[in-house]
Protein backbone atom coordinates (compact mmCIF):
# COMPACT_ATOMS: atom_id res chain seq x y z
CA UNK A 1 0.00 0.00 0.00
CA UNK A 2 1.28 3.47 -0.88
CA UNK A 3 0.75 6.78 0.92
CA UNK A 4 -1.82 7.76 -1.72
CA UNK A 5 -3.74 4.51 -1.21
CA UNK A 6 -3.69 5.09 2.55
CA UNK A 7 -5.08 8.59 2.03
CA UNK A 8 -7.76 7.33 -0.35
CA UNK A 9 -8.78 4.56 2.07
CA UNK A 10 -9.02 7.08 4.92
CA UNK A 11 -11.28 9.30 2.81
CA UNK A 12 -13.47 6.30 1.92
CA UNK A 13 -13.88 5.44 5.60
CA UNK A 14 -14.77 9.04 6.42
CA UNK A 15 -17.41 8.98 3.67
CA UNK A 16 -18.77 5.67 4.94
CA UNK A 17 -18.94 6.39 8.66
CA UNK A 18 -17.67 9.80 9.72
CA UNK A 19 -19.74 12.47 7.94
CA UNK A 20 -18.78 15.09 10.53
CA UNK A 21 -15.17 14.91 9.30
CA UNK A 22 -15.96 15.41 5.61
CA UNK A 23 -14.82 19.04 5.60
CA UNK A 24 -11.58 18.80 7.52
CA UNK A 25 -8.09 18.49 6.06
CA UNK A 26 -6.45 15.16 6.62
CA UNK A 27 -2.90 13.98 6.01
CA UNK A 28 -2.16 10.26 6.17
CA UNK A 29 1.43 9.02 6.11
CA UNK A 30 3.46 5.91 6.81
CA UNK A 31 6.22 6.09 9.37
CA UNK A 32 8.66 3.53 10.73
CA UNK A 33 7.59 2.76 14.27
CA UNK A 34 8.12 -0.06 16.69
CA UNK A 35 5.86 1.50 19.29
CA UNK A 36 2.55 1.86 17.55
CA UNK A 37 0.48 0.76 14.57
CA UNK A 38 -1.33 4.08 14.30
CA UNK A 39 -1.24 7.48 15.87
CA UNK A 40 -3.06 10.70 15.20
CA UNK A 41 -2.70 14.38 15.96
CA UNK A 42 -3.65 17.89 15.15
CA UNK A 43 -1.79 20.22 12.77
CA UNK A 44 -4.36 22.99 13.16
CA UNK A 45 -7.95 23.05 14.50
CA UNK A 46 -9.21 21.89 11.08
CA UNK A 47 -6.28 19.74 10.00
CA UNK A 48 -5.52 16.28 11.36
CA UNK A 49 -2.90 13.71 10.59
CA UNK A 50 -2.81 9.96 10.90
CA UNK A 51 0.46 8.07 10.95
CA UNK A 52 0.47 4.39 10.15
CA UNK A 53 3.44 2.16 10.88
CA UNK A 54 5.21 1.02 7.71
CA UNK A 55 4.37 -2.56 8.80
CA UNK A 56 0.77 -1.83 7.76
CA UNK A 57 1.86 -1.59 4.11
CA UNK A 58 1.73 -5.40 4.10
CA UNK A 59 -1.54 -5.74 6.05
CA UNK A 60 -4.86 -6.68 4.43
CA UNK A 61 -6.96 -3.69 3.42
CA UNK A 62 -9.75 -4.66 5.83
CA UNK A 63 -7.30 -4.66 8.77
CA UNK A 64 -5.93 -1.23 7.86
CA UNK A 65 -9.53 -0.01 7.60
CA UNK A 66 -10.26 -1.20 11.15
CA UNK A 67 -7.24 0.61 12.56
CA UNK A 68 -8.14 3.76 10.65
CA UNK A 69 -11.76 3.66 11.89
CA UNK A 70 -10.50 3.52 15.49
CA UNK A 71 -8.22 6.53 14.93
CA UNK A 72 -11.03 8.43 13.21
CA UNK A 73 -13.20 8.01 16.32
CA UNK A 74 -10.41 9.67 18.34
CA UNK A 75 -10.20 12.45 15.76
CA UNK A 76 -13.98 12.93 15.73
CA UNK A 77 -14.04 13.17 19.52
CA UNK A 78 -11.25 15.72 19.45
CA UNK A 79 -12.92 17.66 16.62
CA UNK A 80 -16.21 17.72 18.52
CA UNK A 81 -14.29 18.78 21.61
CA UNK A 82 -15.13 15.78 23.67
CA UNK A 83 -12.74 16.46 26.48
CA UNK A 84 -11.56 12.94 27.05
CA UNK A 85 -9.51 12.63 23.90
CA UNK A 86 -8.02 16.09 24.13
CA UNK A 87 -6.37 15.20 27.39
CA UNK A 88 -5.76 11.53 26.70
CA UNK A 89 -2.05 11.71 27.47
CA UNK A 90 -2.70 13.49 30.72
CA UNK A 91 -5.43 11.01 31.62
CA UNK A 92 -3.03 8.16 31.03
CA UNK A 93 -0.61 9.66 33.50
CA UNK A 94 -3.36 10.12 36.05
CA UNK A 95 -5.23 6.92 35.54
CA UNK A 96 -4.50 3.90 33.41
CA UNK A 97 -8.05 2.70 34.05
CA UNK A 98 -9.52 5.84 32.49
CA UNK A 99 -7.24 5.42 29.50
CA UNK A 100 -8.37 1.81 29.05
CA UNK A 101 -11.99 2.86 29.41
CA UNK A 102 -11.50 5.48 26.70
CA UNK A 103 -9.85 3.00 24.32
CA UNK A 104 -12.72 0.53 24.84
CA UNK A 105 -15.29 3.23 24.24
CA UNK A 106 -13.42 4.27 21.08
CA UNK A 107 -13.66 0.70 19.74
CA UNK A 108 -17.38 0.54 20.65
CA UNK A 109 -18.02 3.73 18.72
CA UNK A 110 -16.16 2.37 15.67
CA UNK A 111 -18.35 -0.76 15.86
CA UNK A 112 -21.48 1.41 16.11
CA UNK A 113 -20.39 3.24 12.96
CA UNK A 114 -20.21 -0.04 11.06
CA UNK A 115 -16.55 -1.04 11.30
CA UNK A 116 -16.82 -4.11 13.55
CA UNK A 117 -15.56 -6.62 10.97
CA UNK A 118 -12.71 -4.29 10.13
CA UNK A 119 -11.73 -3.99 13.80
CA UNK A 120 -11.73 -7.78 14.17
CA UNK A 121 -9.49 -8.01 11.09
CA UNK A 122 -7.12 -5.40 12.49
CA UNK A 123 -6.99 -7.13 15.87
CA UNK A 124 -6.29 -10.49 14.20
CA UNK A 125 -3.56 -9.02 12.01
CA UNK A 126 -1.91 -7.01 14.77
CA UNK A 127 -2.31 -9.16 17.88
CA UNK A 128 -2.71 -12.82 16.98
CA UNK A 129 -0.34 -14.82 19.15
CA UNK A 130 0.43 -11.84 21.38
CA UNK A 131 -0.65 -11.54 25.01
CA UNK A 132 -3.84 -9.59 25.70
CA UNK A 133 -3.33 -5.95 26.61
CA UNK A 134 -6.37 -3.98 27.80
CA UNK A 135 -4.72 -0.70 26.71
CA UNK A 136 -5.53 -1.68 23.11
CA UNK A 137 -9.27 -1.40 23.69
CA UNK A 138 -11.67 -4.30 23.27
CA UNK A 139 -10.07 -7.74 23.12
CA UNK A 140 -10.23 -9.88 19.99
CA UNK A 141 -12.75 -12.17 21.73
CA UNK A 142 -14.95 -9.26 22.75
CA UNK A 143 -14.85 -7.78 19.26
CA UNK A 144 -15.69 -11.13 17.66
CA UNK A 145 -18.65 -11.73 19.94
CA UNK A 146 -20.01 -8.21 19.36
CA UNK A 147 -19.64 -8.48 15.59
CA UNK A 148 -21.18 -11.96 15.46
CA UNK A 149 -24.12 -11.03 17.74
ZN1 LIG B 1 -7.03 4.52 20.53
pLDDT digits (tens, 9 = 90+) for 67-104: 999 999 999 988 887 555 566 656 666 788 888 988 99
CA of 71 from ligand 1 middle (Å) equals 6
**35 — pLDDT class (breaks 50, 70, 90):** confident
41 beta partners = 49
Distance 149 CA to ligand 1 centre (A): 23
List the single range of 25-29, 99-103, 136-140 with lowest mean pLDDT.
Answer: 99-103
CA gap 1, 57 in Å, rounded: 5
Task: Please state, for a pLDDT cut of 90, what percent of the chain lies above it.
Answer: 74
Q: Ligand 1 centroid vs 48 CA: distance in angstroms?
A: 15
pLDDT at residue 58, rounded to an integer = 95
Q: What pLDDT, on the 0 to 100 scale, is given for residue 42?
A: 85
Q: Provide the 8-state DSSP code for 81.
A: T
What residue spans of the chain are helical by DSSP H? 3-17, 61-79, 83-86, 88-94, 96-110, 116-127, 140-148
Q: Where are the domains of the chain?
A: 3-148
Say if CB 66 and CB 13 are below 8 A apart.
Answer: no
138 DSSP 8-state letter: S
From the CB of residue 38, how many other CB atoms can be counted at a distance below 10 Å?
19
Could you list which residues have their CB under 5 Å from ion ligand 1? 103, 106
Amino acid sequence: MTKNQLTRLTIEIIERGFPELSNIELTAVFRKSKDYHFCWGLLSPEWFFIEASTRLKQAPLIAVSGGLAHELVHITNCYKNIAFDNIADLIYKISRRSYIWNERRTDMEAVKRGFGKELVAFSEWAYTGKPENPERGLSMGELRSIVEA
